[in-house]
Structure 1
Amino acid sequence: MKFVASFCLTSMLAFSALAHEAHSEVKPEDAKDYRQGVFQTLKWNIGGLVAMAKNPDIFDKDHANLLAQRLHLSGGMILEGFTDDSDMVQGSDAKLEIWDDRPGFEAAVNNYLEKAGLLVDAVAKAESPAAYMEQVKELGGSCKACHKKYRN
């Protein structure tokens, strides 16, 4: 499973870099809408894992695996939405630090991806939500740290 997660992560990062170049002509407003959609996808999927933890009777291992995999794969799409010219778009909660400290922002996204990969592994081994909740908290912590520095 770790090989699959590593392969998927590597593929997503490579594709994301290529897609970033291909999307250099994207309107800044479209980039904002795209990244907000990615973040909504992340929120939706982590919410499902948390719901199963709050009510273990609804735990469905296959569905939990799907949600964790989506969190990992969707996380690989984050950087693509932060195009060079989308820093001043109205309606965005993104701080200018994302563009001023691109290496730091990329490190924060990579931290998320690492935590999401660990979550995929934890959910794959889990027989109950309690078995993966520590990784959900770790993933949430990576989100919180990034939001603190890079989100209004």
Structure 2
Amino acid sequence: MFFNSWESALRLLIMGFLAYSALILLLRISGKRTLSKMNAFDLIVTVALGSTLATTLLNKNIALIEGIAAFLILIVLQFLVAWLSIRSDGFKKLIKSDPKLIFYQGKYLKENIVKERVLEVEILQAARSSGINSMDQVEAVVLETDGSISVIKKSDSQTNTLASVDQ
């Protein structure tokens, strides 16, 4: 059906504006790190917020205040997880992974590549994206905590350090 009623359309417009506004306000109050690109857990929260917004908009049995309460619960829980992970190393290890070295000094670290399910072509693509045309120019490649791949070019100095990277 293409059109139910003007009442449904008006409800959707009002609920959409109010629910979206509430979500933006709550996200602004909670701070920049609430939905920053950190790990898979953050992606789940982002998807849950989107699902909650859609449900609030489209399900006539969900009141606006219930949708806002759901946003608030998700954001508060996300804030608590971030707060705890900063203050507790044990909790941080439970929630976040460590960066992992997958290429170092001319050698692919096969065990780490297999464990992290990374393809060598993905490493090569990351190198090309960094403007590198030969792996001879690469000191190291790191699979970051957010799933991105960082390429560290060789430098002329001998003081290369990879702080906080598991080998």
TM-score under structure 2 length normalisation: 0.28
Bigger proportion of residues as strand: 2
| Greater helix fraction, Structure 1 or Structure 2 | 1
Higher Cα radius of gyration = 2
Provide TM-score, normalisation by structure 1: 0.30
